[in-house]
Amino acid sequence: MTELILVVDDEPKIVRLTRDYLEKNGYRVVTAGDGQSALTTARREKPDLIILDLMLPGMDGREVCRILRRESDVPIIMLTALAEEVDQVTGLEIGADDYITKPFSPRTLVARVRALLRRTRGEIKLPSIIRIGGLEIDSEKYSVTVNGAPIKLTPNEFKLLQLLAARPGQTLTREQLIEDLHGGASSIDRSVDSHIKNLRKKLETASGESMIETVYGIGYRFIER
């Protein structure tokens, strides 16, 4: 399941911008415009990460953060228009994991979201053997078979297949795949599409069916069976 992000801000323009950019990068998003609704939504939806504005009407972000920290260890990124170091330190002291000052670049925010999720959850541990239908991926033997017949893959194709097949049905953004494949180097951005194209062709030739689905504008996912 794709990660769910709760965005809490009383400025509709910021909420729309943040939501649109996160969704474009493959995340699900719910929103809240004040502290009390933020707590209600967090308790109901149990998001994987919260982006929390410091200055909220009524209950401010500090209090929301304090309450959330008593109830869960959900990662929190604090948004603040205040650049003073004391406000940044206060946010971290009450339990925020990171902070970003306004105005901010949506691209930077997404990068921080991704980094925090990876840091708090750790890298996905790929199983040594993955079996889905007639497909078997053996990381120790470095082999892939479909219905018992071997398929020859390049190292990049093998790693991409592992990453996708380990999370069937979950959309992985191109940025996520780039990070896992090449450490996030943007210069090889388009090469992921080429690797996926070749991998998909090899799998379809061997199995007679489509295994990898393109989620246009976002990334790819291994089809659940």
Residues belonging to the chain: 225
Contacts for 21 with CB less than 8 Å, ≥ 6 apart: 106, 107, 109, 110
4-121 has CATH 3.40.50.2300 classification: yes
CATH architecture of 129-222: Orthogonal Bundle (1.10)
User: Residue 194 has what pLDDT?
Assistant: 83
Q: Do domains 4-121 and 129-222 have the same CATH topology?
A: no
- pLDDT tens per residue across span 72-110: 889 999 888 765 554 555 556 677 888 888 888 888 898
Instruction: Answer yes or no: are the C-beta atoms of 168 and 223 closer than 8 Å.
Output: yes
| DSSP reduced 3-state for 155 | helix
Whether the model pTM is above 0.75? no
Q: What's the average pLDDT block by block, 10 residues per block, for the chain (225 residues)?
A: 90 94 92 96 95 91 91 89 57 75 87 81 72 92 93 88 91 80 49 87 93 90 86
CA nearest neighbour of 207 among 157, 152, 135: 135
**What are the sequence ranges of the domains in the chain?**
4-121, 129-222
User: Residue 178 has what pLDDT?
Assistant: 77
CA pair distance 119, 148, nearest whole angstrom: 38
User: Residue 184 has what pLDDT?
Assistant: 44
